[in-house]
Amino acid sequence: MALYSNVIRDRFRRPRFHGSLERPDVAGEDVNPLCGDRVRMQARLADGRVMEARWSGDCCAISAASADVLLELMEGQPAAHARELTPASLLERLDADVRPSRMKCVALPLTVLQCALDGREVTR
Amino acid sequence: MNMGERTRRDFPILARVVNGHPLAYLDSAASSQKPVQVIEAIQRYYETSHANVHRSIHTLGEEATEQYEAARDAVRAFIGARSREEIVFTRGTTEAINLVAQAVGRTLAPGDEIIVTEMEHHSNLIPWQMACRDHGAVLRAVPVVGEGYLDLDAYQSLLSPRTRVVAVAHVSNVLGTINPVARMAEQAHRVGAVVLVDGAQSVPHLPLDVASLGVDFFAFSGHKMLGPTGIGVLYGRREVLDRLEPAWGGGEMIKEVWIDHAQWNDLPWRFEPGTPPIAEAVGLHAAVEYLGKLGMSQVSAHEQALTAATMEALARIPGVTLYGPRNPEMKGAVVAFNVDGIHPHDGAALLDQRGIAVRAGHHCAQPLMKRLGIAGTMRASFSVHNVAEEVARLADAVARLRAEL
């Protein structure tokens, strides 16, 4: 398995969920202490479901791809579904051989989204 | 045969194959690899002479003490200090700087000022932030301007009778800039401040004579100069060290102890509480001998040629930005760069796939990254064993980065 899988390269080059929402119901942001990368997550909710979500930030291809597949997985799902997702489930979607030192890059968008949906500040 | 080709065989790790490619180790500024002479010296010490130093009244104890103190003499000669009392062994540059920040910190009064620079490694910034916080002193920073030089006019105007300490890197670990520390020390001394120089990136690469630099403190690490991890050196000018209270207490740093007070030991042991890094000192001695035999002027010329070739090759690649002085004579053996649209961590990971080890990220210099307006860079850095072929491999791999991601 490649470090930069086709999924990662594709999502990095042509992200489906990159951008920002005008009136998000929830939003969150945090920094990866390894590299100083910043990831922002926004979502609009209806009946407890994620109707629309976008990510933005200055980040590496792994974080970018992770954020993008995460929002694809969450679209239309109950907000609580985010709590059932793990970095491992994102890694499976990314189809990549990510080293332990870069797992924070995979996990960061998930942590930010989970905290935003819970209405909490990100706790590191 | 040039220095790189001659010395490569001394470094066992360079035989490694990484991700199917021969290792091109271009990360010596983070930590250098070790020649077999250093590895064997440490092993020989442990196999034949190890015991605690200074107080063991037996043969091994005497041998260990002799070797530990011989390392001090070798380091003294290597950096051009006047006396062995001026050489304090620490665990590394960071500990050496913290030692000074704590010891000098205790003499600070509210309103006193400490001057650092925007290009400092966190290890020469955070200890001073803490000293300021604890003693009500004020931290000032010399701006970085142009291609990555210190604004020396700004420095001059920051200096005042309130200035107590000036803390500055000899060579920037990101930009590579060689700072004019002798001139800066002279100016600082005119207002009565002491000067600490972070020499972590200069000692491994440049000929050095601390006495003629005229600085008060000079800190560096063993592991960046072909020696082991876990040992560093604080050079302190004798008149300045003599006036300082020890930073930390423990065994070895005392002459006589009563239950409620103690009399401090002589220099340099006053600043070396506890069992010191003995095997590491033996390894550092071997590293200093190794570099001494090569000759630091030759080491510097060799690495400068590699640095110049790297800047030239990378500058030709579309989308590459170089950071730091472009004149190789004004910089140490590091080249920081970015490729448009490529995060430095992705770039470094892709280079690693080709067996090329470079550093990526903020390089523990976040204020400098903020000044440059970037999150991080990739950084290639050189040592005695690097060769032109590795520079060519790096340039070739960097040129492919954008297509690969």
Q: How far is B361 from chain A (nearest CA, A)?
A: 5
Whether A60 has its CB under 8 Å from any CB of chain B: the answer is yes
* CB-CB neighbors (< 8 A) of A35 in chain B: 343-345, 360-362, 375-376
Q: How confident is the model at residue B87 (pLDDT cuts 50, 70, 90)?
A: very high
Q: Looking at residues B14-26, what average pLDDT do you find?
A: 97
Residue B1 confidence (pLDDT) above 80: no
Q: Looking at residues B28-44, what average pLDDT do you find?
A: 98
SS3 content of chain B, % helix, strand, coil (to 5): 45, 20, 35
Strand partners, B265: none
What pLDDT, on the 0 to 100 scale, is given for residue A101? 86
The set of residues, in sequence order, having a beta carbon less than 8 Å from that of B18 and lying 6+ positions away, is B352, B355, B357
Q: How confident is the model at residue A28 (pLDDT cuts 50, 70, 90)?
A: very high
Q: How confident is the model at residue A119 (pLDDT cuts 50, 70, 90)?
A: confident
Strand B334-339 and strand B356-357: the pairing is unpaired
Cα–Cα distance between A53 and A47 in angstroms, integer? 15
Q: How confident is the model at residue B226 (pLDDT cuts 50, 70, 90)?
A: very high
Q: How confident is the model at residue B56 (pLDDT cuts 50, 70, 90)?
A: confident
Average pLDDT value for chain A: 91
| Interface contact flag, A35 B375, Cβ < 8 Å | yes
Cα–Cα distance between B169 and B328 in angstroms, integer? 18
**Residue labelled with tokens 């091109």:** B24
| Fold designation for B3-30+295-404 | Aspartate Aminotransferase, domain 1 (3.90.1150)
What pLDDT, on the 0 to 100 scale, is given for residue A35? 77
Q: How do residues B188-215 score in pLDDT, each as one tens digit?
A: 999 999 999 999 999 999 999 999 999 9
Angle made by CA atoms B29, B31, B34, in degrees to the nearest 5: 120
Q: How far is A20 from chain B (nearest CA, A)?
A: 20
Longest dimension (CA), chain A: 40
Q: How do residues A79-117 score in pLDDT, each as one tens digit?
A: 999 999 999 999 999 998 888 888 999 999 999 999 999
Cα–Cα distance between B143 and B248 in angstroms, integer? 33
Whether A12 has its CB under 8 Å from any CB of chain B: the answer is yes
Helix count and strand count (H, E) for chain A: 5, 3
Cα–Cα distance between B69 and B85 in angstroms, integer? 11
- Which chain A residue shows the shortest CA-CA distance from B342? A60
Q: How confident is the model at residue A122 (pLDDT cuts 50, 70, 90)?
A: low
Q: Is B364 a catalytic residue?
A: yes
pTM for this structure? 0.94
In CATH, A6-118 is 3.40.50.2300? no
Cα–Cα distance between B247 and B272 in angstroms, integer? 9
Residue B308: CB atoms within 10 Å: 17
What pLDDT, on the 0 to 100 scale, is given for residue B343? 95
Half-sphere CA count of B218, side-chain side, radius 13 A: 27
- Percent of chain B exceeding pLDDT 70 equals 100
| Interface contact flag, A3 B361, Cβ < 8 Å | no
Q: Looking at residues A62-77, what average pLDDT do you find?
A: 96
- Which chain A residue shows the shortest CA-CA distance from B376? A35
Q: Which of B364, B365, B391, B395 is catalytic?
A: B364
Rounded to two decimals, the ipTM of the complex is: 0.88
* CB-CB neighbors (< 8 A) of A12 in chain B: 405
Q: How do residues B299-321 score in pLDDT, each as one tens digit?
A: 999 999 999 999 999 999 999 99
Q: How confident is the model at residue A121 (pLDDT cuts 50, 70, 90)?
A: low
Q: How do residues B136-174 score in pLDDT, each as one tens digit?
A: 999 999 999 999 999 999 999 999 999 999 999 999 999
Tally C-beta pairs within 8 A across A and B. Answer: 42
| Interface contact flag, A36 B344, Cβ < 8 Å | no
The single-letter DSSP state of residue A100 is G
Task: Name the strand (E) or helix (H) holding B298.
Answer: helix B296-315
Across the interface, of B346, B369, B375, the residue whose CB is closest to A61 is: B346
- Structure-token pair, residue B85: 């009392």
Please report, for chain B, the start and end positions of each structural domain, with discontinuous segments joined by +.
3-30+295-404, 39-292
Please state which of the four CATH numbers 3.40.50.261, 3.30.70.330, 3.40.640.10, 3.40.50.620 is assigned to the domain occupying B39-292.
3.40.640.10
Q: Looking at residues B370-392, what average pLDDT do you find?
A: 96
Torsion of CA B400, A67, A39, B361, to 10 degrees: -30
Residue B277: CB atoms within 10 Å: 23
Classified as helix, coil or strand, A48 is coil
- Which chain A residue shows the shortest CA-CA distance from B362? A35
Residue A2 confidence (pLDDT) above 80: no
Residue A120 confidence (pLDDT) above 70: no
| Interface contact flag, B369 A36, Cβ < 8 Å | yes
Q: How far is B132 from chain A (nearest CA, A)?
A: 25
Please report, for chain A, the start and end positions of each structural domain, with discontinuous segments joined by +.
6-118
Across the interface, of A3, A36, A60, the residue whose CB is closest to B362 is: A36
Question: How does DSSP assign B342-358, residue by residue?
Answer: B-HHHHHHHHHTTTEE-
Q: How do residues B254-293 score in pLDDT, each as one tens digit?
A: 999 999 999 999 999 999 999 999 999 999 999 999 999 9
Average pLDDT value for chain B: 97
| Interface contact flag, A12 B362, Cβ < 8 Å | no
| Interface contact flag, A60 B346, Cβ < 8 Å | yes
* CB-CB neighbors (< 8 A) of B346 in chain A: 4, 60-62
